[in-house]
Amino acid sequence: MSSKIPLELTLAILKPHVVKNPIVLQKIYEMITENGLKVVRSQRKIITLPEADLFYQEHRQKFFYNRLVTFMSSGPSDILILAGENAVLKWREIMGPTKVFQAQYSAPDTIRGKFGLSDTRNATHGSDSTESAEREMQILFKDFDSKKWRETDRSLRDLGQKMKLDAESFKNNIDESSVDREQNVK
């Protein structure tokens, strides 16, 4: 079970139009788990306009900025911290290209290829680097300490994560009681 490659964290968002569709939501959670990514934290909430503004600050000058932040704060999103080997790149591969038309054409089996509706409503977000992941986690999971999480990385990996499926929200959550036990192992 143990491997030398450190686990990487990435920030994923299942965007509002996905959360409104339980079947699509379930399929995406299956794609996450089938690809070996673990859900370290998850929350369902409406991203506020100020949060969306901060989150997407690199796009402030783009023509699509207003429609993007308006859409992102239009309803609840599922916001996840995912862990895995090369999680940043892996999640972006599972998502597919940003533009849905391109995704449908060149990567039809990806999340965006299957479930994207438009360039803005392209189903999911994924960090583009480990640095972005860190910044994005600080915006949307203010109490998450990635350094502390990494210190427990080995024990999490060795003992295996106990995932439990929340049937109502289709979320695969870590059984927090097992994590607490593992964090206590010195």
Q: Which residue ranges make up the site for ligand CDP (CB under 6 A)?
A: 59, 64, 68, 98, 119-120, 122, 125, 128
> In sequence order, which residues have a C-beta less than 8 Å from that of residue 85 and are 6 or more positions away?
3, 5, 7, 8, 36
Of ligand CDP, Mg ion, none, which one does residue 77 interact with (CB within 5 to 8 Å by kind)? none
Q: Report the length, in residues, of the chain.
A: 186
Nearer CB in complex with ligand CDP: 116/174: 116
Q: 120 vs 183, which CB is nearer to ligand CDP?
A: 120
Task: Cite the active site residues.
Answer: 125
Residue 87 CB, nearest distance to ligand CDP (Å)? 15
Report the partner that residue 105 touches, choosing among ligand CDP, Mg ion, none (CB closer than 5 to 8 A by kind): none
Q: How far is the CB of 162 from ligand CDP (least distance, A)?
A: 31
Partner in contact with 68, chosen from Mg ion, ligand CDP, none, beta carbon below 5 to 8 Å by kind? ligand CDP
Residue 12 burial (CB count, 10 A): 27
Instruction: List the single partner that 60 binds among ligand CDP, Mg ion, none, CB under 5 to 8 Å by kind.
Output: none
Q: Closest distance between ligand CDP and the C-beta of residue 125, in Å?
A: 5
- Interface region with Mg ion, contact rule CB under 5 A, candidates 12-20, 37-45, 121-129, 172-180: 121-129
CB-CB contact of 123 with 95 (8 Å): yes
Interface residues with Mg ion (CB under 5 A) are 128
